[in-house]
Structure 1
Amino acid sequence: MGRNQIIDALLNELGELAPAGYVLGLHFRFAAPLMMFQTYDPAWMDHYTRNAYALRDPMIAWGLAHSGATRWSDIDLPDPFGIMNEAAEFGLGYGVCVSCGPLTLRTIAGLARNDREFDDEEISAITGIVLRLHHETKPPDHLTPAEREALQVIADGDRYAAGAARLGISESALKARLTTARGKLFARTTAEAIQRAKDYRLI
């Protein structure tokens, strides 16, 4: 099973444990995650985004300050904007937060249901899945010189043909290098790969 298939399978497992959905930010760096997945009700996500709640969310604050897992009801932090109460109005009545990894690459997940608290066994299973996702999606600490060069020529504004000529390789070889770089960086596009490579100071 390839890495992307493993990630998809783990996300499916996470979804089965969260009847009201989940949000997962993997490897936060400079306040933005390397990857984000979420299955909450779009109406809640629209409301959350419109009100810039990410900057005020007690769950995220807990996740940045702690490693481990906790029920939302056990988070003892100020919530002056009433975010947790509003979440309940959108069907996110009970939840769990899981946080792992170093502060410079923190992964934070929130999972919700609306019928009861998550039990200890469920929290243990969720924690294991989040830890595996954190591990499977760990950003690279290096690219090969060929991959860095391929990203750099495109970052400099060259088209494929010009970039290949600049490197003295075929266009298909350039595209192959870009493909492997995108895979390592979990990027869907070359532009996204370039930005992530810059974020992680790989180019």
Structure 2
Amino acid sequence: MFEQDSLLARLHEIAEDGVAIGLGFNQMGQPKEHLCTYDDAWQKHYWENELIFSDPVIAFGVNNLGAVRWSDVAAGGAANAVTIARDFGLTNGIVLSVQVDGERAIAGLATRSRPSEAAITEARIVLAALQASKSGEPQIILTQRQKEVLRLIADGASAEDTAHELEIDISTVNFHKREALKKNHLHAKNFTSLLASAIRAAVI
């Protein structure tokens, strides 16, 4: 529980105006767990007006894996949950959809300003760690150099930034990423889930 509280606290540092998270979505699009910390007035308006049926955050999360800004899914001009949320002071945010061990998590994070790429990357990793925390503890094995590489990337550094910080070539950074994923392929299907598992297991 402490670990999940810590992960939620990290998301709230990114999303100062609230989060809405669904964990463990099933085939019918229903989450096993739901958490929402948006303002009460917005939540009341959202549910009373059945905005879930015009919510591009939900639509993106169900149909895609990845992360985008609210402004990217609200395009098109038609009124929807994201555009209506502006009347309640929710103007910026991130849509996240990740899958860990076959379980999908979808989140809408309300930010005070336009979220940076680094914030989006960190939020995606933290959400994956939160979803992963619902299953058994992975045994993540990393060398010291792999830990250093993953730690920097988890903090939002690019491969180029990581190479500069560690004074190694970009090709070496990519080598360490590949080797870390290969070594832990039973616990992580892709690099994002490896980062999430490494954070959850406190190895980076």
- Normalised-by-shorter TM-score class: 0.5 to 0.7
* CA distance in 2 between partners of 1:87 and 1:94 (Å): 10
Question: How big is the shift at 1:21?
Answer: 0.6
Correspondence 1:134 to 2:131: yes
Seen in structure 2, the aligned counterparts of structure 1 residues 76 and 83 have a Cα distance that, compared at 3 Å, is closer
Correspondence 1:22 to 2:19: yes
Q: How does 1:1-203 map to 2 (within 5 A)?
A: 4-29=1-26, 30-75=28-73, 80-101=78-99, 105-114=103-112, 116-138=113-135
Q: Secondary structure at the match of 1:70?
A: strand
Partner residue in 2 for 1:178: none
Contact residue 51 and residue 80 of structure 2 kept, 8 A: no
TM-score, normalising length: structure 1? 0.61
Question: How big is the shift at 1:80?
Answer: 3.6
Q: Secondary structure at the match of 1:137?
A: coil
Identity of aligned residues (%): 33
Contact residue 74 and residue 82 of structure 2 kept, 8 A: no
Which residue type is aligned with residue 58 of structure 1?
A: P
Question: How big is the shift at 1:77?
Answer: 6.2
Which sections of structure 1, spanning at least 5 residues, go unmatched?
Answer: 140-203
Seen in structure 2, the aligned counterparts of structure 1 residues 58 and 77 have a Cα distance that, compared at 3 Å, is farther
Q: Secondary structure at the match of 2:16?
A: coil
Partner residue in 2 for 1:162: none
* CA distance in 2 between partners of 1:131 and 1:79 (Å): 31
Which residue type is aligned with residue 73 of structure 1?
A: S
Q: Secondary structure at the match of 1:14?
A: helix
Q: Secondary structure at the match of 2:90?
A: coil
Question: How big is the shift at 1:82?
Answer: 3.1
TM-score, normalising length: structure 2? 0.61
Deviations 1:127-162 (A, max 9, x none): 1100101111249xxxxxxxxxxxxxxxxxxxxxxx
Which sections of structure 2, spanning at least 5 residues, go unmatched?
Answer: 137-204
Asked which structure has the greater CA Rg, the reply is 1
Question: How big is the shift at 1:20?
Answer: 0.8
Contact residue 23 and residue 106 of structure 2 kept, 8 A: yes
Contact residue 58 and residue 79 of structure 1 kept, 8 A: no
* CA distance in 1 between partners of 2:86 and 2:63 (Å): 24
